Structure 1
Amino acid sequence: MSWRRWVKPEVYPLMIPIVGVLGLVATQLVRNISTNPDVRVTKENRAAGILENFKEGEKYAEHGLRKFVRGRTPQIMPSINDYFTREK
């Protein structure tokens, strides 16, 4: 009963992007905790201090999406851009 009081049908379109952003934030937090070389969760790893792990840091920074996008043109719709920018 109280759910209907606070969440009205007009709010549903706002909840969709909020839930999407929360999903992205959760994904980034899990990625940082699990694979970031600068984040140490266990006590043994924290006791190690500052490590010179350049290979691990480069592996973290050069992830798959960055490798996929590198070398591509930064356009959303290249065919439409070409259509409107070509000389007539």
Structure 2
Amino acid sequence: MSSRWLRPEVYPLFAATGVAVGICAFSLIRNITGNPEVRCTKENRAAGVLDNHAEGEKYKENFLRKYVRNKHPEIMPGINKFFTDPKY
């Protein structure tokens, strides 16, 4: 029975599932630890609604967002430039 599931054809499925679980875990941990709207402790929940704009801005403007802000949205810029720029 175990050899039925451990065939080499199933490895990409395991890899895709592992990546999906990793992304979900990253998102969950990031939101629990860093999101200003998520409060896990009883003391923080008792505080009610806070107007904490600085903390929300810090959460929103993370490293990845700052890095890609001024980048042109291309997957392969070298190939795109080769096929679209008339100089080549």
Instruction: Please indicate, yes or no, whether the TM-score normalized by the shorter chain is above 0.5.
Output: yes
CA distance in 2, matches of 1:59, 1:6: 49
Ranges in structure 2 where 5+ consecutive residues have no aligned partner = none
Runs in 1 of length 4+ with deviation above 4 angstroms? none
* 1:1-88 equivalences in 2 (<5 Å): 2=1, 4=2, 7-9=5-7, 10-87=9-86
The number of aligned residues is: 86
Q: Deviations over 1:49-81 (max 9, x none)?
A: 000000000000000000000111001111100
CA-atom RMSD in angstroms? 1.4
- Deviation, 1:6, is 5.7
- C-alpha spacing 1:49/1:18, structure 2 compared with 1 (3 Å): same
One-letter amino acid of the counterpart of residue 27, structure 1: F
Ranges in structure 1 where 5+ consecutive residues have no aligned partner = none
CA distance in 2, matches of 1:75, 1:63: 21
One-letter amino acid of the counterpart of residue 11, structure 1: V
With normalisation by structure 1, the TM-score equals 0.90
With normalisation by structure 2, the TM-score equals 0.90
- Deviation, 1:7, is 1.7
Q: Deviations over 1:21-64 (max 9, x none)?
A: 10011011000000000000000000000000000000000000
